Amino acid sequence: MSLEVNDLNKSYGSEQVLSNFSLDMAPGEVVQVEGETGRGKTTLKRCISGLEEYEKGEVNVNGDIAHVFQDERVLPWLNVKKNILLSLQLKNEEISGEKLDQMLELARKLGVADHLDKKIDQVSGGQLQRLLLIRALITDPNLLLLDEPFNSLDTSTRSQIYSEVLEICKDKGIAVLVASHNEDLDSFVDRKISL
């Protein structure tokens, strides 16, 4: 299993957000977490990636996690390429020629190879989200958490990006947990769970 979540409980004050939540994910599986805003989709991802503590339960991840957030978390003083390579630097991984080739290949697949040397404020929202996906994928994760990262984009662009990235993840055997209340993901996901 890429991910095992057992009886996860998380509350904010008196408000119980996750109650005995369990989930298993196989490698390459794509699972969509549905639910209206405030139902705990983001909290679940934050618990899995270690950004939130939880009261009870167990989270086991087999391998590395990559997390693409709802907002665009970039360092504005770095250009696009350096923002992508940041994930490797934070992991203290060597930026080898192989990694640079991998970045370029991903950028070509996602149609943003021409934007790598640009400043962050010179790329559009859709391009930036693709570039942030590359930042996540270049770490060769076993589990990719997508926290409604494309909500600000129009439906056709969103569908196109999901199609591209989920195809890459399936090829590489990366399990993907997508939080979204959009229904345009139906054709891409293996199963859905509701919160």
Partner 1 sequence: MIERIRDFEHLNQVIFVLFLLLVVQSSVDFLPTPYEIGKEVVNYLVDPDLRSDLASTAGRVYLSTLLALVLGVIIGVADYFNSTISDIFNSLFYPTQFLSEAVLAILAIAVLGINPLVVYVITVISVVPDVFIATQEGIQELDQRILELGTVYGESKLQVFRHLVIPQMLPYIFIGGIRAHATSWDIVATVEVFLALGGMGYLVQNQFRLLNLPELFALATILISAGLLSDRILRIIKREIDRRYMHHES
Query: Which lies closer to partner 1 via its Cβ, residue 26 or residue 51?
Result: 51
Per CB under 8 A, 139 contacts partner 1: yes
Q: Which amino acid is at 82?
A: K
Rounded to 5 degrees, φ, ψ at 151 are -65, -25
d(CA 75, CA 90): 13
Give the one residue of 16, 22, 62, 89 binding partner 1; rule: CB under 8 A. 89
First CA to last CA distance, the chain:
22
Give the one residue of 66, 134, 137, 178 binding partner 1; rule: CB under 8 A. 66
Q: Which stretch binds partner 1 (CB under 8 A): 4-12, 72-80, 108-116, 165-173?
A: 72-80
Query: Which lies closer to partner 1 via its Cβ, residue 2 or residue 188?
Result: 2
Per CB under 8 A, 140 contacts partner 1: no
d(CA 21, CA 193): 11
Contact (Cβ atoms closer than 8 angstroms) between residue 110 and residue 103: no
| Residues from 92 through 111 that contact partner 1 (CB under 8 A) | 92
57 closest CA partner among 7, 100, 15: 7
Packing angle between helix 80-90 and helix 97-109, nearest 10 degrees? 130
Q: Which stretch binds partner 1 (CB under 8 A): 18-26, 86-94, 103-111, 147-155?
A: 86-94
Minimum distance of partner 1 from residue 82's CB (angstroms):
10
Please tell me the number of Cα atoms within 13 Å of 146 on its side-chain side.
30
| Residues from 21 through 60 that contact partner 1 (CB under 8 A) | 49-51
Task: Please give the residue ranges that form the binding site for partner 1 (CB under 8 A).
Answer: 49-51, 65-67, 69, 71-77, 86-87, 89-92, 120, 139
